[in-house]
Every structure is written in structure tokens, then in C-alpha cells.
Structure 1
Amino acid sequence: MAIRGLLIAGTNTEVGKTHVAAMIARTLAASGRRVGVYKPAASGCLATAEGLIAEDAVALWEAAGRPLTLEQVCPQRFLAPLAPPRAAQAEGRRVDATLLRTGLEPWLAASEIVIVEGAGGLMSPLSDVDYNIDLAAELGLPLVIVAANELGVINATLQTLITARTRAPHLPIAGVVLNQATERPSDASLASNAEELAARCDAPLLATISYGASTFDQPVDWFALATMKPN
């Protein structure tokens, strides 16, 4: 499927992936772009009278200006805070591997660019037969890796890059966003992590985000990054 977009992946869970994806969507929408947002599956959803609500999907939808419907942002939602296949199993359901892919189709005509957010790290299970990296490879959208600014981020980021290069060698990698998801006042690595990532990664450090910030430390042309060609 031919579409301009970016796939936002994390080095792990709880690294601020949704926060960064929403910031990218908001930046693009503010520049006048028609932005689509898609989260193929979400677990740990809220149970409401209207059904399960994925808070990540709501954040993405709001950031993009509420395009299409919230249902189309995240068509597969599960209650348990587990990987989607396990969360689905707890409800006597299965993740629909076909819908993971076809769920993007409504955004093709509606958007100039789509921000796709994965669920967990690249090797987190997405269905009984898929990991996040498998869907990323099929969609072929340039990968933006969100890494938590904390001790251990160098290893986590390099391992994520190695996984991407090994499992999806043709997938373009746009770069890394270093996000301080928690305050961590005693973490001495905060002052040097950006420099270390810039020196050691074979993908560019696109931007950093300070704790609690809603803007990137420098401007990034996200629309241009979405045009990257396969390796």
C-alpha cells in the first residue's frame, strides 16, 4: 500500500512512544498537513459504558485533530495490560492479523501522512504470528525509534537498531528520538546520553525531549523523513 508515513517504535514499553507520536502528529497538523493516526492494536484499555477505550489512541486522535473516527485509529482493543495476543486470549479472542494490515486502508485517501504507533518494542508480539517488526517491514514506513533518556539507553537503542537491520534489512530508519519519560533527578547519564547515541548509532539522533516538555529541542522535517526510500 502506497502511503507516506512514519512508524513509531519504542526500545521498550513505557518510553513515551505515544507522547512522541502525538507530538509528531500535532506538529504536522499545525503545519497544515492532513494527518492520519493508526495504532493497529492496543491492550490495557479502559472499560467504559461505550466499550473499551485505548488512551493511546485518544491521545493520537486528539493530536491529529480528530480525523476519521476513534474506532478507525485503533480497531483492535483489549482489556488486560499484556501483549495483545495474551490480552486477546484472556477475553477468548484472537488478534486479527489481517486487520492489523487492512486497518490502515481508511487512512490512504484521508491523509497526506499517517503516523503509525506500534505496541511495545520491535520484538513484542503483536498477534499469534506477528511481532511489531514484521508489520513494520510489510508497511515499509520509515522507522522512528523512541528511546528513554535513562541509564541503559545506549544498549537498548543499539539492540533495537540491530533488530531492525536484521529482521527488516530494507526498512528505512529515520532516526532516534531521545525522550526523558520520567524525572530521574539522580541519573547522571542524562547529561551524556544524547552525545553517546549520536556517536554510536548508525541512525541519526533526530531530537531530544526534556522531562515534561511538549516540544522537541530542535525542528525536524517529519514530512520529508516520511519520503525515505527502502535501503
Structure 2
Amino acid sequence: MTRGLFITGTDTGVGKTFVTTRIAQELQTAGVSVGIYKPACSGVEANEAGEPMWEDVDAHFHALDGVFPRERICPQCFHAPLAPPVAALAEGRCVDADLLRSGADWWRGRVDVLLIEGAGGLLCPMTESTTIADVAADLAFPLLIVARLGLGTINHTLLTVEVARSRGLPITGIVLNDHPPQSDDPATKTNPEEIARRSNVPVFGVVGSGMLESELGLGVDWNAII
């Protein structure tokens, strides 16, 4: 049976992809087979050959050593940097609501652990009538919340925790992302403890792209937690 973790965030751009790929790499180093699934992705870029590329999907593809097809990692990709249903409408398309859930089924039995990365935050629209929170509830994996480290994150993180609890979504923990680095922000020193105390959710630690490679590991046994 495939175990899993649903990585959500307090907002878009808070580091969900960065954290997801780090967890995947740590699990693979521990000998665990891992898959990554993103129900939908929007915001296209061009690669060096001028071909369309979705940065999140590409990051996951390489984190999994190119073993799994990009279309299985994310079966629904849209061009505009907008919420998926809005981006789809701009292309004359609709988000396939069933595929948001069933796309995860391909991974079950193929890997030991499936990491699912949401889009935006829990209330990000995924169709005209559903949100990421609805998809997370249906896929039934516990949440890992990724939040910014700096000033303002207490409110955003506690709101996310409150939404999750109001919908009966179990929360495994919180990871804070220091990107871009906020070394001059005094709130970065107190936010982890404040969030843990006020939310009663474990804060596993701080990551950030400005950290040394040796500092990036959170010291968490993900295989035991998931």
C-alpha cells in the first residue's frame, strides 16, 4: 500500500516545490521509492530549446531522476500564471475534476511513498466549485504546511491550520522556508516557536535556498512520519 503526504502552503511561491523535492531526495537516500504528483499546474516558461516548460513539474521530474513521465507527475498543465480554472478558461479548456483525483491512482502500488504538491494554498480554486482542500480531503493523505519564515507568516500559517482543521484534514507538521533570506528580519528568530505554540502543530524546521547543502536537511525521519 502506498503511503503519502500532501504538501500545501500558505500561499503561492512559498516553497512547496522546493520542500517537496527535498523530502523526495531524503527518502530516496534512505532507500524508499518515491513518486511526486501535482494535480494541476499553471504558468508556463520556455526551456533552453524554446519549448514550453512548467518549472514545478520539471523540478519534480529531475528529483525523481527522470524515471517517471512528466505527464504522470502533472497531467493537467496550463499556460497562464493564474489559478487553474481561470488559466484553463483562457485556453478554451476546463480542468478535469475527476483527473485531479484519479491522476494519483497511477502511482499507487508503483512507489512506497507518494508526495502530492498542491497549487497555491488550501482555498486555491481547482475547478469552478472545488478547491485544493477538497482535493486533499479526497486523496486522504496528511498535510505538511509550507510557510514563509518572515514577518506576517504567523497569521498566514494559523489561517491555513484553521482551514485544515475546519475541514477535518490531519496536519503532520509545518516547514518554514527562508526564501529569499530574511537575515535582517527579527521575526525569523521568533516565528517558529510562536507558530508551534499557537497552532499546536510541530514545526519541523527551516529550509532555504540560501542555506548550505549541509544545512538543508531537517533532521526529520520522513519515512517514519508518513
Unaligned runs of 5+ in 2: none
How far apart in 2 are the matches of 1:11 and 1:45? 22
How far apart in 1 are the matches of 2:52 and 2:32? 29
Structure 2 contact 176–206 (Cα < 8 Å) conserved: yes
Cα deviation code 1:101-134 (max 9, x no counterpart): 1111111121000110000000010122210000
| TM-score, normalising length: structure 1 | 0.91
The alignment status of 1:173 with 2:186, answered yes or no, reads no
How far apart in 2 are the matches of 1:40 and 1:78? 12
SS in 1 for 2:77: coil
1:199 corresponding residue in structure 2: 197
Q: CA RMSD in A?
A: 1.8
2:3 corresponding residue in structure 1: 4
SS in 1 for 2:8: strand
SS in 1 for 2:86: helix
Summarize the alignment of residues 213-228 of structure 1 with structure 2, pairs less than 5 Å apart. Answer: 213=211, 214=213, 215-216=215-216, 218-226=218-226
- State the identity as a percent: 45
2:97 corresponding residue in structure 1: 97
SS in 1 for 2:156: helix
Displacement after TM superposition at 1:218 (Å): 3.5
Summarize the alignment of residues 86-165 of structure 1 with structure 2, pairs less than 5 Å apart. Answer: 86-165=86-165
Unaligned runs of 5+ in 1: 227-231
Structure 1 contact 53–77 (Cα < 8 Å) conserved: no
Structure 1 contact 43–79 (Cα < 8 Å) conserved: yes
How far apart in 2 are the matches of 1:90 and 1:151? 35
Structure 1 contact 47–79 (Cα < 8 Å) conserved: no
1:229 corresponding residue in structure 2: none
Structure 2 contact 207–218 (Cα < 8 Å) conserved: no
Cα deviation code 1:80-108 (max 9, x no counterpart): 00000000000000000011111111111
How many residues were matched structurally? 223
SS in 2 for 1:72: helix
**Using a 3 Å threshold, how does the CA distance of structure 1 residues 146 and 186 change in structure 2: closer, same or farther?**
same
Displacement after TM superposition at 1:43 (Å): 0.3
Structure 2 contact 10–145 (Cα < 8 Å) conserved: yes
Displacement after TM superposition at 1:65 (Å): 2.4
Structure 2 contact 181–208 (Cα < 8 Å) conserved: no
Amino acid at match of 2:181: E
